[in-house]
Amino acid sequence: MLFEKGEITESRYSPNIVFEDPITKYDSRDGYVFNIRLLRTLFNITFDLHSIAVSGPDTVTASWTMEMLFWPLPWKPNLTFTGRTIYRVDPASGLILSHTDYWDALQRNAFLSLEALQHVMRMFTQVQLTPSIETPKYVVLKKFKEYEIRRYDPYLVAETPMGGGSGPASGSGFSELARYLFGGNAAGLSMEMTTPVLTRVQPGGNSSVAMQFVMESRYSDVSLLPAPSDARIARKREEGGFAAAICFSGWPLDFEVVQNERLLRDLLIRDGYSPAPGYQLARYNDPSTPPALRRNEVLIRLDGFAWPEGEGAAQ
């Protein structure tokens, strides 16, 4: 990949290639290569190419996600960008004449964008911590200013209903699931803690609130999980799929969870998406983590979402 080697096949690019994104601009192949090498030096980069297609007589359009971990800072901020690239190609020579990036998070993508600089600085100064333990696998498909859309792989959970009157931020059910995880099962098996702790809220009131622990991925099927000693605990497979996520810090209180759920739902409707009923609260950190460093998320599944967008309903 381009960012693994930090090099390009120079014969494919015009010596005068113009590169532009909302905060960077070069008008030579040397500048183009310098930019790639600089990013590779300062960041650990993961690049996912989602699609690429001919979009005009002399243009090719690609959609992508780029994760950039800035290792020189102590808190190692992870910058996530999604968007599209338009390559302009000389039909006669086949040389790439220009490379222009557009970020999903911005209203104004033209260089030099103050909005883009503010967006990057917000990501650099985001200090919420994600523990270095196993978590459900997902790819960010669309990163917007206020929220992001993810594609989750399937994962297994242990789930128990939360007590009557429990709000989404309650700790009800945690002790029961912890006992199951650390030996309270038919096999007497102690399993590894994962993150996040999930609260699933379905329409219908407090009777539809349940807490979930994510199970280790080494268990490939529900039947391989040890049977719980507590009849209130169920083993389930979450099918993954598409979900929108909004992040906030602090000790999540019920009203904050509800506010973020309503905000996310309104944003999705504004942007033309179809949020499914219900939501999940994801809490990533142990109780000793200071409030400002805590990572909390509200997740809402998306109905009828297709990826790449515009290719029919999601399966």
User: Mind listing the pLDDT tens digit for each residue in 3-33?
Assistant: 656 678 999 999 999 999 999 999 999 999 9
pTM of the entire predicted model: 0.92
User: Mind listing the pLDDT tens digit for each residue in 100-116?
Assistant: 999 999 999 999 999 99
Per the CB < 8 A criterion, the answer to whether 143 and 80 are in contact is yes
Please give the mean pLDDT across all residues of the chain. Answer: 94
Tell me the Cα Rg of the chain: 22
- Give 186-207 as a DSSP string: TT--B----S-EEEEE-SSSGG
User: Mind listing the pLDDT tens digit for each residue in 134-144?
Assistant: 999 999 999 99
Whether a cis peptide bond, with omega within 30° of 0, leads into 196 is yes
Is 221 in a helix, a strand, or coil? coil
User: Mind listing the pLDDT tens digit for each residue in 245-258?
Assistant: 999 999 999 999 99
Residue 71: Cβ-neighbour burial (10 angstroms; 0-12, 13-18, 19+): exposed
Is 112 in a helix, a strand, or coil? coil
The pLDDT of residue 315: 31
More confident residue, 276 or 309: 276
Q: What is the mean pLDDT of residues 31-36?
A: 96
Per the CB < 8 A criterion, the answer to whether 191 and 181 are in contact is yes
More confident residue, 277 or 6: 277
Per the CB < 8 A criterion, the answer to whether 229 and 185 are in contact is yes
| Per-residue CA distances from 135 to 66, 193, 196, 295 (Å) | 20, 10, 7, 13
Residue 313 pLDDT > 50, yes or no? no
The pLDDT of residue 268: 98
User: Mind listing the pLDDT tens digit for each residue in 189-198?
Assistant: 999 999 999 9
User: Mind listing the pLDDT tens digit for each residue in 156-204?
Assistant: 999 999 977 788 999 999 999 999 999 999 999 999 999 999 999 988 6
Share of the chain above pLDDT 70, in %: 95
Q: Which domains are assigned to the chain?
A: 2-124 (3.10.450.50), 127-315 (3.20.80.10)
Quickly state the pLDDT bin for 68 (edges 50, 70, 90).
very high
Backbone phi, psi, residue 257, to 5°: -60, -45
The distance between the two most distant Cα atoms of the chain, rounded to a whole number of Å, is 71
Residue 70 pLDDT > 90, yes or no? yes
- Supply 259's token pair: 């506010």
The pLDDT of residue 165: 74
Q: What is the mean pLDDT of residues 63-75?
A: 95
Of 126, 134, 101, the C-alpha closest to 22 is: 101
Distance from C-alpha of 315 to C-alpha of 306, rounded to nearest angstrom: 8
Q: Is 116 left (phi over 0), alpha (psi -120 to 50) or beta?
A: alpha
The pLDDT of residue 312: 43
Which DSSP helix (H) or strand (E) runs through 264? Answer: helix 254-270
Q: What is the mean pLDDT of residues 259-273?
A: 98
Residue 147 pLDDT > 90, yes or no? yes
Residue 314 pLDDT > 50, yes or no? no
Residue 154 pLDDT > 60, yes or no? yes
Quickly state the pLDDT bin for 205 (edges 50, 70, 90).
low
